[in-house]
Copies of this chain bind each other. A is one copy, B any other.
């Protein structure tokens, strides 16, 4: 009953558990960032980040949350008055639109019911209606609804119909869902450290192709800390424009070597399998999956009528030290979310199902 004496079992869609060897690496004495030792680490990190995004292009490392990374893309690639198409199918898709409006962009929004995914047809329709769209803002995994967007095929049709930049929020996707930055023709993609990358929060990563870098030259929005030109220039010498979070970069170096060892294809398959196992088990327990296009990184489930979110959550925490996530916005109290992202394996999913069975019986 005294759950704090049990292992900390964290199944929230960020942060996700951190492997012990990564914690050990972050516990080493801190080093100076303007040193060859740091540049050697950062060179390896930058190379391995390209592997994670499946790109030969530059990947920037920013000290901020994922939201900071989203804002950085908007202020670097666009100018006030530019029109962007934004898909709002949950809290994070909505955020793309809010940030863009904050900076004076015209936002054409496709509003989708929570739990559903935007279709290729809806994207084409808006591109034809608005010929001046400079960028399309997508969310690969909408964390609030645990729903996947078909970024691969949507990217294909955007290219056939428009010159718009294809921008992807990959925050709960990179390191969990299949993703090919170069092959799919994505122009900019942001992710954060505390999701598929098995790290503490605090870092955002942004992959940019040549078209995106050209767009940076045209942007007139003011920026300083987030100025991509400064990061791109520092990257040439494996340096950073501002003092980086050295501790996290050291952990990241370890994490990325784990990822390289396991290989992206195997990681994607593992997440595919984890999500399948989880959904199948939940359905067997009589629970109903919330999303039409469930993500491989997180599963959203309706809370059954017999129990409240508060009771369910209390039972999981108090009895088993298991933390899952509530629903967000108007879905608070209606759904809950179980992450299976990053450092997560089959037995974890079995354990969550067992705990849920006890809580519900």
- Tell me the minimal C-beta distance from A213 to chain B in angstroms: 20
**Bound form: Cα–Cα A53–B12 in Å:** 34
Size class of the contact patch on chain A: 35 or more
Sample of 28 A–B contacts (CB below 8 Å) = A7-B29, A10-B29, A10-B32, A14-B243, A15-B32, A15-B246, A18-B29, A18-B30, A24-B27, A26-B27, A26-B247, A27-B27, A32-B323, A35-B323, A63-B65, A63-B202, A64-B68, A65-B242, A65-B244, A67-B224, A67-B225, A71-B225, A103-B224, A194-B243, A200-B245, A200-B248, A201-B246, A202-B248
Question: Which residues does chain B contribute within 8 Å of A242, judged by CB atoms?
Answer: 65-68
Q: Say which residue of B10, B18, B224, B247 sits within 8 Å of A98 (CB atoms).
A: B224
A242–B104 CA distance with the chains assembled, in angstroms: 22
Are A202 and B15 neighbours in the complex by a CB distance under 8 Å?
no
User: What is the predominant secondary structure among interface residues of chain A facing chain B?
Assistant: loop
Is A99's CB within 8 Å of the partner chain B? yes
Q: Which of A19-66 contact B (CB under 8 A)?
A: 23-24, 26-27, 29-35, 63-66
Which of A31, A63, A223 counts the most chain B CB atoms within 10 A? A63
* A163 to B68 Cα, complex, angstroms: 33
The CA-CA distance from A221 to B219 in the complex, in Å, is 17
